Amino acid sequence: MIVDLDSFNRTFVNGIPIKEKLLDEGDRIEIGNVILLFLISNEIDHSESLVGFDDSLSVTESAVRLQRDKAVYLNPEIVPTLNPSKQVLQDLNALLKISNTINAINDSLKLQNELLRNISEALPATRIAILLIEDQSNEIISKCTWTIDENRSKKITISRTVVNQVMDEGVSLLCQDIKTEERISHAESLIASQIISILCVPITAFDKTLGVIYAETDGTLAFEESNLQFLTAVAAITAVALLNVQRLQQLECNNQILNEQINLQHTMIGENQRMREIYRLISRVAPTDSTVLILGESGTGKELAARAIHQNSTRAGKPFLAINCAVLTDTLLESELFGHERGAFTGAVSLKHGKLELANGSTLFLDEVGELPLIVQAKLLRVLQEREFERVGGNKSIKVDVRIVAATNRNLQQEVREGRFRQDLYYRLNIIAFEMPPLRERKSDIPLLSSYFIAKHSERCKRRVKSVSPEAQELLKNYYWSGNVRELENVIERAVVLGQTEIILSEDLPENILEATYMNGSNNTQTNLGGLYTALKQEKKRLISEALEMNNGNHSGAAKLLGIHTNNLYRLIRDLDIKIGKV
């Protein structure tokens, strides 16, 4: 979890300012000039591990210690009970087999299993384990075991003291006879397992301890110093291979994370699950040339989504063009969209290139496409089908390569049923469609959006505003927001302009938000605020009415008496519905 404690410069995650956010794999964090990438390591479930630890085990001075740099020589004198040449040949064959095997395996688990199998053929061991540790924390991240009876479900009890000492000191240890080790001879786990001796050697590469190889025997034959020499040599020749495999798997993991990460350039604000789904959809849709229909209420950010589609497409190098189909007359809309020839109609004194022609090779955004007149709908259908059109007053077909992204707040299916929208055009537009969620369905994003708009308008208004008070934030969360994000931005801008402190307070919010919260009364907080709001509203009306009466209705004089700006007085009179002489 990352929390921004109202810092003036704010904290950004994936380019978006945040207040509080539960981090996801691959999140990019920006704090000042510092950029961090949040990654989660693969976690091992130790509850089902085949390896347990006995903290009662320890090692005395009688244990044999061998430095790694002295393990390359085999002294025949240390194995008096065996034929030295036969032992040397056996060990060398095992080492040769291991060295030939490890270079052909690039999976850590497979490599460990192969090592265990080869080691078991050269050691008189009953059980063997390879433990790999995490570089920074020294926590064990991988455990792989082998048992002589091939019962892999049998748990191996390991001396934690032995393992820690080997990892800390970087030396190999041999406990030949457990019964002679006073400090560990009474360990219940060892007595139950009838363990005779223990071997433990470090796996070290480039002065970095990767883990240990641990072996024990419960037979009549104990480990000898030659076995210590052999296992230390095995650890030495396999350490680099294990390190390389770990690095390769980490690179593959990071590559997968980067491939799965939503690498989307956009200016939309939101971390709500609905918005995350929108981001994922846009990241898949953007690289294609398919027509996209964006649905949703006014103020939900449909144009921002359309721009994100363009920004992340192959057409991003060319300008993004937009046209609002609801603000132009039929004639002007047709001319704006398709262009016109000189003399096509009164006032057409020169040739004009329409938005479709200008958007050749790029993206054209048709906002409020549901407002298109039927005659323009028919011409747009031809563009979508044939990729060609004619200017108004012209007879020459013009070929275009343009991607259409349309948006509407209307129910186009209902419009089709009522004959106001062509069914064939609807099907052409509705190839890929998604709906931008209204703000009331993503209220968890309100604090984030508020912070963004505060930063935006504070800079524009040259005022230092840091945040929204908890009480005001609660009011914002409980409001219905029929105007969605656009309405929220207007509210924040107004509060930044009219507020007098570095924090937006409840009284800086419009009366309709306070009144709506009181009328809703959906929780105790709202009810309590409602009582306070009613009293404040009545007192405001009384003071303003008296000031107006004392100045014979002169607003400038009343404002001066109240100590506020005249514009603020006009706003209060309107919001409170004040009449002269009435409270």
pLDDT in tens, 201-249: 999 888 788 899 998 888 677 888 888 888 998 998 888 888 888 888 7
Confidence of residue 44 (pLDDT cuts 50, 70, 90): very low
Cα(308)–Cα(288) distance, integer angstroms: 13
pLDDT in tens, 20-43: 888 888 888 988 778 898 888 654
Residue tagged 């360990």 (tokens): 187
Q: Which CATH class is domain 441-576?
A: mainly alpha
- Where do you find CATH 3.40.50.300 in the chain? 273-436
273-436 carries CATH number 3.40.50.300? yes
- Exposed e or buried b for every residue in 169-190, given b needs 16+ CB within 10 A? eebbbbbbebeebeebeebebb
- Where do you find CATH 1.10.8.60 in the chain? 441-576
Residue tagged 């009179």 (tokens): 573
Residue tagged 């009449």 (tokens): 579
Cα(544)–Cα(573) distance, integer angstroms: 8
- Residue 381's pLDDT is 95
User: Under a CB-based contact definition with an 8 Å cutoff, are residues 111 and 102 in contact?
Assistant: yes
pLDDT in tens, 341-350: 998 888 888 9
The pTM (predicted TM-score) of the whole model is 0.52
If you write DSSP's letter for every residue of 368-389 in order, what string do you get? TGGG--HHHHHHHHHHHHHSEE
pLDDT in tens, 52-90: 777 666 666 667 676 555 544 444 444 444 455 566 777
- Where do you find CATH 3.30.450.40 in the chain? 46-254
Q: Which CATH class is domain 46-254?
A: alpha beta
Distances (CA, A) of 467 to 37, 397, 454, 483, 501: 26, 56, 7, 22, 10
